[in-house]
Structure 1
Amino acid sequence: MEDQNSLVEYGFRRFIVTLTAIVCALLEIVDTTIVNVALNDMKGNMGATLSEVGWVITAYAIGNVIIVPMTSWLSQQFGRRNYFAFSIALFTVCSFLCGNATNIWELVAFRFLQGVGGGALLVTSQTIITESYPAEKRGMAQAIYGLGVIVGPTLGPPLGGYIVDNFSWPYIFYINIPLGIIAVLLTLQFIKSPKYAAKTSTKAIDWLGIFLLTVTVGSLQFILERGHEEDWFTSPVISIFTALAVFGLFFFIWRELTYKNPIVELRVLKNGNLRIGTGMSFILGFGLYGSTFVIPLYTQSLLGWTALQSGLLMIPATLATAFMMPVVGRLISKGVSQQYMVAVGLFLFFVYSFWGYKIITPDTAKDNFFWMLIVRGIGLSLLFIPITTMALSTLKGQQIGQGAAFTGMMRQLGGSFGVAAITTFMSNKNMSYRNDLISKLDVNNLDVQQRVMALKQGFIAKGMSPDMALNSAYKALDFTVTKQAAVLSYMDVFLYLGVLFLICIPFILMVRNRKDKEAIDMSAAMH
């Protein structure tokens, strides 16, 4: 095992290493959400259909999720500094190629490769930051890293909205290029590689493990991203990919536990802290990406805001998170129980969701969101750092990278599960609420007749013929029903998200005693 302390940096070097790692994490995460607001422009520009343009997001996510579990092994093979520099370079070059793509499938292919480069940035930057700080400052290190991870998804939409409104969509990719070049140079100059054990020879490389991992995780991500559009298991494509994911996972676990040089070290999950942290990371991803997805969707589709307006709405909450991060880092350094912090964070997330459930209407004013989103921001800071620190707290050396890969992958998959679940849930609820509301609109009901007549008179006053006015009155009524059904389904999403977080609280509190004992056992074993 390498000498852990040789990686700890001080003073100016630590500042540069931290800055480089955060810039890389930010580049990766901003790119996950910045594209969402530009899809419409890409669609028009490239003559693509809505489902084709959806692949711009799917391909990136699949590239991300496939590479994340392999990052620890790849770092050992090529040296962390070289692998990190190569990943930034790949990400940067593919950003340029994405901006220059001439058709939709070219763009999708480059987005996939960009995702492969980007996935490595996220986990490796977390490992670099964790190892650059001495053990007693790990909480602070996670706070600094967490800033990038939580600010990133929120920065994407307003930045993307601004670029699309004022320039053209390729610039959302081009802005990565100068930052990428600087990051490569800083990496080669300042970032150290740990002294790993001997590399695996080419013959001993776990090629079958790599193949099974790619099939399993790639299929799972594909199902989550495309399931709703393909109507889930009524589609033969989704059924085939589900079978691939299930069998792939079974054989992958068998292979990794029996092979001498596994591509993913599953045995690291024997660590109880890491197991709990990995599960909690999944829930964190579900809440973080799920709520980042729901609010812009609601404000844009129902309230008619622009991408920039709905992006700016999230900024005060992000600032609240940024302000709280160092505070939480300091509390962890002082020994405040991470379980209690996570429990409070989960409770705040429940408050935020329940608040959302209460205020959502067909015309909620902008001011109503402010404090609700501030609560979300504070809740996120109390979840992110304690979960990550707890997960990695009793790992040493090479295990830190392996542990960071597991928590990173589960956060990504949690986000994909969250968005897929919310999309499907909302469309089903929308349908049932709409049918329910329509069944209550009885043509013989006096209220309904008066409403239709009032609308008809309004349209006649605007110069329409009586026939057209009546037709328009029915259309307007139909539109109101559709909007109301959508509002009800958004309310349900908020309510159920809140309940999910509330249910998790007792589990995290039950964990505590066993974890403390295990931490003592682990440290005794280390000494």
Structure 2
Amino acid sequence: MAQAQANIQDDDSLVEYGFRRVIITITAILCALLEIIDTTIVNVALNDMRGSLGATLTDVAWVITAYAIANVIVIPMTSWLSKQFGRRNYFAASIILFTVSSFLCGNATNIWELVTFRFIQGMGGGALLVTAQTIITEVYPIKKRGMAQAIYGMGVIVGPTLGPPLGGYLVDNFSWPYIFYINIPIGIVATFLTIFFVKSPKYGEKLKVNQVDWWGIILLASFVGSLQFVLEHGQQDDWFEDSMIVSLSLVSILGLILFIWRELVYENPIVNLRVLKDGNLRIGTILTFILGFGLFGSTFIIPIYTQSILGWTATDAGLLLIPSSITTGLMMPIIGKLLERGVSQKYLAAGGFIIFFVYSYWMYVLMTPDTGSEHFFWPLVVRGVGLGLLFVPITTLSLSTLRGKNIGEGAAFTGMMRQLGGSFGIAIITTMVSRWTQQNRIDLIPNINPNKFQVQQRINAFQQMFISKGFSINESLNKTYQTMEGIIMKQSTIIAYMDVFLYLGILFLVCVPFVLFIKKGSNKTDHASAH
């Protein structure tokens, strides 16, 4: 009981009011946005980077991979590092590291310099996301934590969507280094605000060097680093046909087993796995993984579809997602208010999963070679509503029964699972589109029977068109077959995208009954009942 009272007092000492809370909230949101935007902003600049740095497509893909690997390594260690160095110091140092490495990325003279600086940037960025969530959670009193997560969620949900259009604008109007330079003034402001306004909780005695869980760090890095590489490069390297993918998969599995054993037996673990005894956090991490799968997967698939099938520019493809982000942003404070008034988190989350299914099925129905931006508008608004209903309740539920230092550890788990969910989502969706496109092509080709009257008409029409442009009879026939092959591939790809949306929707629908197993969280409870 005495320990519980001490935890309550520690929590209360971090709660802020008025101007200070506004400043701390803005600082945390800025940092979360910086990290999330930088995950996706480089996607539209890869071609320009490849041209100016003389890199191959495989080499330039490491610009994304290096950042993602650094992110997933650092995120689970964030709570431990905060205790070692003090949260304010660690947060400020992470912002400085992120900002300096952004400057270095913009000044890189070759691809491997850029990859190295991106890895360092990811080390700083991984800490920003989780620490920002912990800070926002702790500066609000318990009864207002639903609103706190809603405010944080605006940055996390909107960030991936802002990246592509912002990156497209900067690349089209300036040059690719500016996607990194834009971080510098924001980073400088955030550093000063952190130093002057953010408080550190009182942690126990720091560990000595010989007490640090060095083996835990090595095993964690080998496990998540190898897994992230496999997910990023699996499809392009033909998965388990490649010896590197097989080797790293084995390293990841072995690393995970040894890491779990090490953390459970070591006195001062780098990641406190015991916090997963909390039932809400366990279910919350699984739901967060699925949320990351859907959030990053759908954010990834729509720009690819619109550019490769519909022929849109990168900027137009990025702008398409803006209505969804605005809708989610508008939903966040509404969801926060509903949570404050005692509306059950699990019912909101279940509604979010159902609405996301509706969005996915709608996309499945409307996808054609002639789909225009006006057709996407309302489905993407529905997507925004679904994500708003999912993010805040799931995040609040995950952390709702945690107290004190366990909040940071829980936030680290949910942060890592959201990132890994996104990586799994992109890897699986990319593989599905590639494999299903080939299978659909095989299924469609028998329908192109030259003996059918309609097929003969189409061949003659194309051939006459090419003859009218000056091609010989043989050349026009070859051009006709190439054109029809292109049409078949386009139809095959569209069907593959349709199936991806259908299965994504089914995945979210299946989650609904599991949400109902979650215990009621403490979104509107007093301190005593929370314990």
- In 2, the alpha carbon distance for the partners of 1:525 and 1:379 equals 31
> Are 1:447 and 2:454 an aligned pair?
yes
The correspondence for 1:395, drawn from 402, 409, 412, is 402
C-alpha distance 519-254 of structure 1, shift in aligned 2 (>3 A) = farther
Q: How does 1:88-107 map to 2 (within 5 A)?
A: 88-107=95-114
Which residue does the alignment assign to 1:382? 389
Contact 2:342 2:524 in 1 (8 A): no
Q: Which amino acid aligns with 2:181?
A: Y
- Structure 2 equivalent of residue 41 of structure 1: 48
Distance 2:481 2:502 in 1: 32
Cross-structure match for 2:3: none
Match of 1:18 among 22, 25, 28: 25
TM-score when scaled to structure 1? 0.97
Question: Partner of 1:457 in structure 2?
Answer: 464
1:164 aligns with 2:164: no
* Structure-2 residue corresponding to 1:122: 129
Deviates more, 1:298-307 or 1:459-468: 459-468
Letter in 1 for 2:245: I
Q: Displacement, 1:447? A: 2.0
Letter in 2 for 1:306: T
User: How far, CA to CA, are the matches of 2:284 and 2:346 in structure 1?
Assistant: 11
Which SS does the other structure have where 1:436 is aligned?
A: helix
How do 1:16-415 residues align onto structure 2 when only pairs under 5 Å count?
Answer: 16-415=23-422
CA contact (8 A) 2:328 2:388 kept: yes
Residue by residue over 1:462-494, the C-alpha shift from the partner in whole angstroms, topping out at 9 and shown as x without a partner, is: 222222222211111111011011100000000
Q: Which residue of 1 is the match for residue 496 of structure 2? A: 489
Q: Partners in 2 of 1:201 and 1:136 — Cα distance? A: 38
Aligned mates of 2:204, 2:525 — CA distance in 1: 26
Aligned residue type for 2:334 = V
Q: 5+ unaligned residues in a row in structure 1: which ranges?
A: none
Amino acid at match of 2:432: F
Superposed displacement of residue 44, structure 1: 1.4
Q: Number of residue pairs matched?
A: 524
User: What CA distance in whole angstroms lies between the structure 2 residues aligned with 1:181 and 1:494?
Assistant: 41
Indicate the SS of the match to 1:483. Answer: helix
> What are the Cα deviations for residues 376-417 of structure 1, in whole angstroms up to 9, with x where unaligned?
000000000000000001111100000000000000000000
Q: Indicate if the aligned counterparts of 2:33 and 2:156 stay in contact, CA closer than 8 A.
A: yes
Say if 1:353 and 1:181 are closer, same or farther in 2 by CA, change over 3 A. Answer: same
Contact 1:394 1:523 in 2 (8 A): no
Task: Quote the Cα distance in structure 1 between the aligned partners of 2:112 and 2:446.
Answer: 44
Structure 2: give runs of 5+ residues left out of the alignment. Answer: 1-5
**AA partner of residue 464 (structure 1):** F
d(CA) in 1 for partners of 2:17, 2:137? 13
* Alpha-carbon shift at residue 521 of structure 1 (Å): 13
Q: Which moved more, 1:476-485 or 1:454-463?
A: 454-463
Letter paired with 1:29: I
**Among residues 425, 431, 447, which one is paired with 1:424 in the alignment?**
431
Among candidates 504, 515, 528, match of residue 508 of structure 1: 515
Q: Given the superposition, is the C-alpha separation of residues 139 and 30 from structure 1 closer, same or farther in structure 2, using an over 3 Å criterion?
A: same
SS at match of 2:398: helix
- AA aligned to 1:381 is G
SS of the residue aligned with 1:168?
Answer: coil
Displacement of 1:368 after TM fit?
A: 0.4
Q: Percent identity?
A: 65
1:98-132 Cα deviation digits (max 9, x unpaired): 11111111111111111110000000000000000
Q: Shift of the alpha carbon at 1:449? A: 1.8
Q: Deviations over 1:419-467 (max 9, x none)?
A: 0000001100000111111232223332222211100111122222222
Alpha-carbon distance between aligned partners in 2 of 1:399 and 1:522, rounded to the nearest angstrom: 18
Structure 2: distance between partners of 1:181 and 1:122: 17
Give the drift of 1:518.
Answer: 10
The answer on whether the counterparts of 2:96 and 2:187 sit within 8 Å (CA) in structure 1 is yes
Stretches of 4+ aligned residues off by more than 4 angstroms: 517-527
CA drift at 1:519: 10
Structure 2: which amino acid aligns with 1:167? F
Are the equivalent residues in 2 in contact too, given 1:272–1:518 (CA < 8 A)?
no
Measure, in 2, the Cα distance between the counterparts of 1:276 and 1:335. Answer: 20
CA contact (8 A) 1:394 1:519 kept: no
SS at match of 1:165: helix
TM-score normalised to the size of structure 2? 0.97
Cα distance change on mapping 1:217 and 1:460 into 2, 3 Å: same
> Which letter does structure 1 place at the counterpart of 2:369?
P
